[in-house]
Structure 1
Amino acid sequence: MRSTFIDPGALRQELLLQAASLTPDGLGGHDTEWTEVATVFGLIEPVAQKANFGAGQTLEENTHRITIRHRVDAASGMRLIKQGRVFDIASVHDPDESGRYLICLVREVGL
């Protein structure tokens, strides 16, 4: 397989990688607490933006592709934070299976 060229100098944005931990709330549900796993540097690239209108309100969704150095603990269900912006990780894959980089497809929340 051909290796994909990713410029390591382009990974300049500082991001916090966080994992969710669920704690019971005593009523049969759970509370989600986010704990910091690592500080990583990445490249954020916008992919798509769409707005859905329903029930008298507009719901906007922005998707991005974030490239980071390879980590064995990065997985979907985690999130990345950059200066108050929250990116929920939908999927993680190694573009050329070389173990050098990961591409995370994310949804930006809180807009």
Structure 2
Amino acid sequence: MPLVFFDPGQMTARLDLQRPVSSPDGQGGAAVSFETVAALWARIEPMNHALTEDASQREVILTHRIWIARRDGVQAGMRFVRGARVFAIRAVQDPDETQRYLVCHCEEDGA
């Protein structure tokens, strides 16, 4: 696999990495909330958008690639938060398998 050149100086977005936490809702189910695991620097690359229609309402889905320095425990189901923006992590990959960076493929919630 070819080595990916990436300038870490391009990581200019400060994001909170959050993981889901389940707690009993008292009715046999679970309520999911999120807790912050870390604050980190990242590069956000807008990738694509798709227009969907659900129950006669149109919704735009924005996708992004978010680059971060490699860290253990980052996985699909977690999310990044920047102010009012929320990026749900759908997949995580090491772009060149050198364990330097992670690329998180995200969808922006509430876009």
Q: Sort the TM-score into its range (normalised by shorter chain).
A: over 0.9
CA distance in 1, matches of 2:98, 2:55: 46
CA offsets 1:64-105 (integer angstroms, 9 cap, x no match): 000000011111110000111000000001001111000000
CA distance in 1, matches of 2:90, 2:54: 24
Structure 1 runs (4+) deviating above 6 angstroms are: none
SS in 1 for 2:4: coil
Aligned to 2:5: 5
Aligned to 1:85: 85
Matches within 5 A, 1:1-111: 1-111=1-111
CA shift for structure 1 position 54: 3.4
CA distance in 2, matches of 1:85, 1:54: 22
For the aligned residues, what is the CA RMSD? 0.9
CA distance in 1, matches of 2:31, 2:40: 26
SS in 2 for 1:107: strand
CA distance in 1, matches of 2:28, 2:98: 43
Size of the aligned set, in residue pairs, is 111
Structure 1 residue runs of 5 or longer lacking an equivalent are none
TM-score by length of 2: 0.96
Give the AA of the match of 1:76. A
CA distance in 1, matches of 2:100, 2:54: 42
